[in-house]
A = this chain, B = another copy of it.
């Protein structure tokens, strides 16, 4: 308890001790002043210097440290896989009669997946994916998946 008290009030104790020491020096200087009567300016100068030093020390110890914040900008590239100004063209989707599952297949096609990978991802057979893609090509009036991707992107059916 007492050690904690000492540690917490360390600065105050040091400051108090310093003041006591200063008073002693003052008394001694006063005595000297009485003996050597014409050293008044030196005495005042000493007091001034000591208290200025104390002020500096106090300020440096107690003042909140000035913090100069240096902002280092670290560029972190974030690839956005979605166009911010992408608006899904639901009207066109309905107009073409493309179903939910077909759209899913289309999106995965566009991501570069093969029919087999799409089948695995959607937990259906390869044949199912082929059926979906075939119907998709009919509805989009295209012949290949690459054309389907190009057209779907152009029509804002996919991002």
Residue positions of A touching B, CB distance < 8 A: 26, 44, 47-60, 63-86, 109-114, 142-151, 154, 159
Residues of B within 8 A of A147 (CB): 112
Known: A26-B44, A76-B77, A78-B78. 16 other contacts (CB 8 A): A44-B44, A47-B51, A48-B50, A49-B51, A52-B55, A53-B55, A59-B60, A68-B69, A69-B70, A70-B71, A79-B83, A80-B80, A112-B149, A112-B150, A114-B143, A146-B146
How many subunits of this chain does the assembly comprise? 2
Main secondary structure of the interface of A (DSSP, over half): mixed
In Å, the complex CA distance between A33 and B151 comes to: 90
| Shortest distance from the beta carbon of A125 to any chain B beta carbon, whole Å | 20
Contact partner, A145, options B55, B65, B113, B146, Cβ 8 Å: B146
The verdict on A150 contacting B110 (CB below 8 Å), with A55-B55, A69-B70, A71-B72 known, is yes
| Shortest distance from the beta carbon of A133 to any chain B beta carbon, whole Å | 12
Could you list some 26 contacts between A and B, CB below 8 A? A44-B44, A44-B47, A47-B48, A52-B52, A52-B54, A52-B58, A53-B55, A56-B58, A56-B59, A56-B63, A58-B59, A59-B63, A63-B63, A67-B67, A72-B73, A72-B74, A74-B74, A76-B78, A81-B154, A81-B159, A82-B84, A109-B146, A112-B142, A112-B149, A112-B150, A114-B144
In Å, the complex CA distance between A110 and B72 comes to: 35
In Å, the complex CA distance between A146 and B144 comes to: 11
The verdict on A74 contacting B71 (CB below 8 Å), with A54-B52, A55-B55 known, is yes
